[in-house]
Amino acid sequence: MVIHLPADLSSFVGRATELESILQALTGSRLLTLAGPGGCGKTRLAIRAARRVSPDAAVWVDLSETSHDDQVTQRVAEALAVPVPRSDPAAVAAALAAGPALIVLDNCEQVRAGAAEFVEVALRRCPGLTVLATSREPLRITGERVWRLTPMVLTEAIDLFLDRSDADPTDPDARAAARRICDRLDRLPLALELTASWAGTLSLHEIAAMLSDDVERPLLAGSRRSAPFRQRTLADSMDWSHRLLTGDEQVLLRRLAPFQHFGVDAVRALADREHAADAVLEALRGLIDKSLVVCDVSGPRARHRMPTVVAEYALARLREAGEETRARHRHARAHLDLLRALRPLAADDKDRWRERVGEFRADLPAAAQWCLSGGDPDLGRRLCVAAAWWWHLTGDRTGLHLLRQAAALDPGDDDALQARVLVSLALVGEVVQPDARTFAAAEQAAALGRRTDDPGTTLLAQQLVAIGLLHTDLAAARELALRTHHEAAAVGDDFGRDASGVLVGLIDQLGENHAAAFDRLDRSATALLRRGDRGIAGTALAALAIGRAHTGNLAEAEETALRARDAAAPLHDFVRIGTAAWGLARIVALRGRLDEAEAIMDELQRVIDEASTAPYVPGWSATRAQVALWRGAAADALRWCAREQHAFTPDLLLTHVAALRRTGDAPAARRRLEQAESSPTLAAMPQLRAVALAERAHLIAAEDATAAAALHRDALHIRLRHGLVLGCIDSLEALAAAGTPERAALLLGAADRARRDTGYLAARSPLPTGPAVAAALARGRALTLDQAAERALRVNRRGTRPVTGWAALTPAERSVAELAVRGLSNPQIAAELFIGRGTVKTHLAHAYAKLGVANRTELARDRATRAANPPKPSSS
């Protein structure tokens, strides 16, 4: 990992002896803190030391914009630019363990507790890591070595001042004047640089004379008398520089005090009747020339900031002038206007939008918090709404807290704004904390949006409500998502159309409606990527890859999985990248590359293992366990299942069933299978229904081989009807075990051909050998998959019973189905027929498979339809 250190905006002068001592201290200490007052040169010295110690493997984290202790970890994660749960110090430390040898935390003083917490975790978990911190105070944790910066050596201070003032270092008069200035400014680097900026306006002797002036300066005079000398010196230097500013420059300096970073647009927004835009820009140039504002032009747009000490001084002058409320209001209003001006970019190119908003991200929570805390609640609520997509994409917990505060401040007189606040709350919560509270906010937003005739809010809220329904009611989720899709298209909401299209496609894929699902997912993902909506596009592509794998297109599936990973990568979002990673790993494993599959997941597994609270990536544990099963390591699969700390999805439950069965714990496997079968969404997912049938067949095979074979045929019937090619191969191999040697060879030969055609190499069944079965194997290899499946489904020796429809049901299956249609529960059916509840489930599963229905509602509907339209008697 190569992290670029901040560039030097000017030459590094002096501190040579101290630099060598600091380098030596770093070799013998894992935590070194450069401590000293503002303006003493801590940051410049840290950059120089880091460049010497670890030029190609250092992480630089600037905490000057960070105002809350709980944001320190997030800032480190952003600096690392790797996918980690950004609120978990242990997880971020795990990423450091495999990366840089040195991390520099600059400007720790205002978040000292948060910095100390992170450093303690990082040093404990990363034995090879060294931390260099800069702070006005030590972090005060075990193992810290503190290096307190003293004023510069006089000769070095003179050299620095002459360098910055462009004076001749060999001129004795210049050196004499510089010495007087350095003595007056206590040889503090920042004070020297600020003063040197006036050398183009005043001579060095004039500067020295003016600094020696003992005129009383009232600002901070009371606190200054008891302050340390160096702090008084810097304040005096700031006062002196401030007195020489023009009136416009003094006004702008005060007005910029609330800003962390700002660009030209924000400065223009500070213009008013007394200070026109041109005058404000001229004042900005003056502040830059005088080193009170730092300008970074390395990117496509100039970014400006005030050094921390200057910003503190400007804030003090702002308060002294009684202008803080107005300035903070301007600050918040400027950022609301910026976000609104960037809204068209968010619709057309979200990558560029993220880049632009990232330039002033630290100002957003500060401005919103001031407004919500009483400055201007209405403005704060609007600012939170405007910033919601940024907080959604970055998974920012601070944004979620601010939105909850904004929602609670509803005055009750603006339902339209409250609807936007609530949908914003749900949008961020869906990523940060997807719980019932989040989706309840989405439902409230949808209702208010409809009441206030706000289609944008309503459509986004409906999408979020549909997402909340995915784990409980797939049919309702699809109905709402499809309605949202059509409504968004009707009003020209391209994002709403494509995002809801992805949701419909996901649900269609769960229902194995592949033609419709693939078309929706592919079209929607393409359109979303064109606009830079990477998060949703990555989810769509990951789902599309898995769907293509199920239907046997493994090569295309792998290409799609790689596209999903590339789409999600720039977001550095752990859940989205984790989802893409397990999808790719599963497909690679299906193609027989088990080591590669595990390596793909191992890249992120360390972060999960080290996290204090394991992040939840749906599908991760199931995939790790499934790969272990394909390797033949059922005990490892059990351990992966046991590590799941969140919801056991039907996929994970069924994988757990297989692991328990293969380790010989049939009772536990049966209990897990019943839990999976009772899932409210399983009935709508044919692929998993077929897996459940196959697992029940394996569990009863030793007791009732005939019933087990019937279950395998039911599973095959589902898989064949829904185009689940890989599942059909599994079913053929399972049914081969229940037939005669010749029939087994025929089915295994057909499965072997299908495996070679698709590239499905995971968990291959061994082929029989010998002359007795060679001909049957050859005949099997000549069959298509459909032909082999049709033969496998022939169960009645005389061929009189159909394989589908009510006529295909056995007497026991028909009895259970009829009672279910009448509304009896499983326990009631069991009591009525004097059979076990498990047997009722088995018969119902057979009936569902043969009738092509997913649940009791569809069963009753099918029965009513057939009763109203009975089949015509045969003419024969």
Highest mean pLDDT: which of 25-29, 222-226, 385-389? 385-389
Phi-psi region of 263 (alpha: psi -120 to 50; beta: other; left: phi over 0): beta
Q: Which long-range contacts (CB under 8 A, 24 or more apart) does 442-449 make?
A: 442/468, 444/419, 445/419, 445/420, 448/415, 448/416, 448/418, 448/419, 448/422, 449/419, 449/423
Query: How confident is the model over 6-16, as a mean pLDDT?
Result: 70
What is the pLDDT confidence band of residue 87, given thresholds at 50, 70 and 90? low
Q: Which of 92-96, 105-109, 635-639, 730-734 has the lowest mean pLDDT?
A: 92-96
pLDDT tens readout for residues 408-429: 999 888 999 999 999 999 999 9
Percentage of the chain beyond pLDDT 90 is: 39
Query: Environment class of residue 611 by beta-carbon count within 10 Å: exposed (0-12), middle (13-18) or buried (19+)?
Result: buried
With helix as H, strand as E and coil as C, how does 762-824 read?
A: CCCCCCCCCHHHHHHHHHHHCCCHHHHHHHHCCCCCCCCCCCCCHHHCCHHHHHHHHHHHCCC
Q: What SS3 state is found at 270?
A: coil
Q: 822-835 as b/e, with b when 16 or more CB fall inside 10 Å?
A: eebebeebbeebeb
Residues in the chain: 876
Residue 230 has pLDDT above 80, yes or no: no
Strand 144-148 relative to strand 102-106, pairing: unpaired
Q: Is the pLDDT of residue 9 over 80?
A: no
CA atoms of 135 and 106, how far apart (whole Å)? 7
The per-residue pLDDT for 441 is 95
Least confident segment among 68-72, 245-249, 271-275: 271-275
Q: How confident is the model at residue 872 (pLDDT cuts 50, 70, 90)?
A: low
Q: In angstroms, what CA-CA distances link 801 with 11, 793, 866?
A: 91, 11, 18
456 confidence band (pLDDT: 50, 70, 90)? very high
Q: What is the dihedral of CA 560, 562, 563, 568, to 10 degrees?
A: 130
Beta bridge partners of 35: 135, 148
The pLDDT tens digits for 784-821 are: 999 999 989 876 444 445 667 787 787 788 888 888 88
The pLDDT of residue 10 is above 90: no
Report the distance separating Cα 397 and Cα 391, nearest Å: 8
Poorest-confidence range of 330-339, 532-541, 590-599, 825-834?
A: 825-834
The answer to whether the CB of 597 falls within 8 A of the CB of 627 is: yes
For residue 186, give every residue at least 6 positions away whose Cβ sits within 8 Å of its Cβ, in sequence order, or none.
151, 229, 230, 233, 234
Residue 200 pLDDT > 80: no
Q: Residue 369's CB: how many other CB atoms inside 10 A?
A: 20
pLDDT of residue 185 exceeding 80: no
CA distance 719 to 730: 10
869 confidence band (pLDDT: 50, 70, 90): low
Helix (H) or strand (E) holding 144: strand 144-148
The arithmetic mean of pLDDT across residues 660-688, rounded, is: 90
- Determine the pLDDT at residue 381: 96
DSSP 15: -
Is pLDDT at 571 greater than 50 in this prediction?
yes
Is the per-residue pLDDT at 210 higher than 70? yes
Asked whether residue 241 carries a pLDDT value surpassing 80, the answer given is no
566: tokens are 């590339």
- Weakest-pLDDT range from 292-301, 376-385, 772-781, 782-791: 292-301
Task: Give, in order, the Cα–Cα distances in Å from 218 to each of 92, 239, 240, 540.
Answer: 47, 9, 12, 63
**What pLDDT shows up at residue 231?**
44
Confidence (pLDDT) at 870: 60
Once rounded to an integer, what is the mean pLDDT over residues 448-471?
A: 94
Q: What is the mean pLDDT of the chain?
A: 85
CA 755 to chain CA centroid, nearest Å: 36
Average pLDDT over residues 387-396: 88
Among 173-182, 576-585, 644-653, 735-744, which stretch is predicted with the lowest mean pLDDT? 644-653
pLDDT (0 to 100) of residue 613 = 65
pLDDT for the residue 555: 95
Which pLDDT value is given to residue 393? 85
- Higher pLDDT, residue 95 or 440: 440
What integer is the mean pLDDT of 34-38? 81
Q: Name the nearest CA neighbour of 738 among 695, 781, 709.
A: 709
Residue 3: pLDDT above 60?
A: no
Average pLDDT over residues 664-676: 92
pLDDT of residue 225: 39
Which residue, 552, 634, 548, 539, is CA-closest to 582? 539
Alpha helices in 491-553 (DSSP H): 494-510, 514-530, 534-550
> Who has greater pLDDT, 857 or 870?
857
Looking up tokens 């001042």, which residue turns up? 161
Mean per-residue pLDDT for 327-344? 92
User: pLDDT tens-digit profile of 254-313?
Assistant: 999 999 888 888 888 787 766 677 888 888 988 888 778 888 877 778 888 887 778 888
Are 463 and 481 in contact by the 8 Å Cβ rule? The answer is yes
Q: Rounded to an integer, what distance in angstroms lies between the CA atom of residue 417 and that of residue 207? A: 56
- The better pLDDT of the pair 828, 188 is held by 828
Alpha-carbon gap, residue 29 to 102, rounded angstroms: 12
Mean pLDDT for the stretch of residues 751-771: 89
**pLDDT at position 636, please?**
95
Helix axes 377-394, 397-408, angle to 10 degrees: 150
Residue 863 to residue 309: CA distance in whole angstroms: 79
pLDDT digits (tens, 9 = 90+) for 690-712: 999 999 999 999 888 888 999 99
pLDDT tens digits, 287-298: 888 778 888 877
Mean pLDDT of 752-775: 89
688/724 Cα distance (integer angstroms): 11
Q: Measure the CA–CA gap between 86 and 185, rounded to whole angstroms.
A: 42
Residue 547 or residue 214, greater confidence: 547
The model scores a pTM over 0.85: no
Please return the burial class of 764, using the count of CB atoms within 10 Å of its CB with bins 0-12, 13-18 and 19+: middle
